[in-house]
Amino acid sequence: MISGSFIPLLLVCGLFALILAVGIGCSYLWLVWLGKEATKCPKCGQRGAGELLESEVIESRSYTEWERRLRILGGDASQRRRVQVTEQTFEDHFECERCKHRWTTTARQKTRDAIDGTKRR
């Protein structure tokens, strides 16, 4: 049998679980909407109708730069490290499933790899 002191704890945990479930559900729906909006046909306006035909890297460059390290637990603030930066430009070709219109979009991606092997975006 549940004693009276556990009832408020159960109510708080239940409320937290409800808030968490609603947050996850809203985030999922937002991501689905963004995915369909990203493949919206520019001609007929149908959301989610764009089928990716081909994706290719049209430009890529790599270079090294210096980055300041964060001061953690009283470390030296002037400490710097070298990072390898890779910038790529992608070209994606889509075709609308509804009206067969074809279009192209471009996107850039920048990846930072510390010389010691850790990755950052």
Average pLDDT over residues 13-36: 94
108 DSSP β-pair partners: 89
pLDDT at 6: 78
Residue 68 has pLDDT above 90, yes or no: no
Do 112 and 85 meet the contact criterion of CB atoms below 8 Å apart? yes
Helix, coil or strand: residue 14: helix
Task: Quote the tokens at residue 45.
Answer: 């306006």
Strand 80-96 to 50-68 pairing = antiparallel
Provide the pLDDT confidence category of residue 88 given band limits of 50, 70 and 90: very high
Q: What is the pTM of this model?
A: 0.60
pLDDT value, residue 99: 95
**In this predicted structure, what is the pLDDT of residue 78?**
60
What mean pLDDT is predicted for residues 72-95? 81
Reported as type and span, the H/E element at residue 50 is: strand 50-68
Report pLDDT for 58.
93
- Residue 61 is predicted with a pLDDT of 94
